[in-house]
Amino acid sequence: MGMEQREMATGFRRLLCAVLVLSLLWSALPAAAEVTHGAVTGDRVLFRKATSGSDYWDHLDKGWVAKILGETKDSKYTWYKVEANIPVALNRTYVGYIRGDFFRKLTAQEESTWLVNKPQPYKALFENPPIVTASPSPVPTGLTAAPVTTPASRGTTAWWQWPAPTCAGSPTATASPPCRRTSW
């Protein structure tokens, strides 16, 4: 074999090794995290043995988490085939069905939080809903302070929540052109 052929064979071997190493590393990377759990959204929801009939494993309350095994649809409803434990047998799992209008998939963040210690029911899903707050309102022209936001308004301010203006020290005086609003 000539020198040139050996160099080509060596280069080919190196390329082949690099491809093999990359393919092994690629296969070791976790797949995109797919949500595999859902939660019951109502109280005393039937965890059924089948989508038809009246047999059921137990009633599940709001926040009960189950592993989603599949999804089927009939003429009226979407049914989730799930695996879950039940309140009277927490150490055992059962396979059954929950109707889709009483069950929802967890978000990726909810699922990763639940998987840490798997509380049943997972009440944190429904106890602390996110609060959306509004940005501060600009001070209207001619006013010296912004309107007051009450805790009950949760970040919104309506005109009827503003305090009454005072003019010349009188809380009953009305704002007229000679009276300048100095406080709210």
pLDDT along the chain (184 residues), means of 10: 72 75 60 79 94 93 95 93 93 95 93 89 72 57 55 49 53 51 53
Specify the pLDDT at position 153: 46
Tokens 């409803």 found at: 77
Specify the pLDDT at position 159: 46
| Cα 25 from Cα 136, distance rounded (Å) | 50
Instruction: Dig out the tokens for 167 from the structure.
Output: 């003019």
Specify the pLDDT at position 127: 72
Domains of the chain by start residue, with CATH: 37-127 (2.30.30.40), 142-184 (no CATH)
Specify the pLDDT at position 101: 95
Residues 6+ apart with CB under 8 A from 121: 40, 60, 61, 62, 63, 64, 65
Phi/psi of residue 10, each to 5°?
Answer: -65, -45
Closest CA to 96 of 35, 149, 52: 52
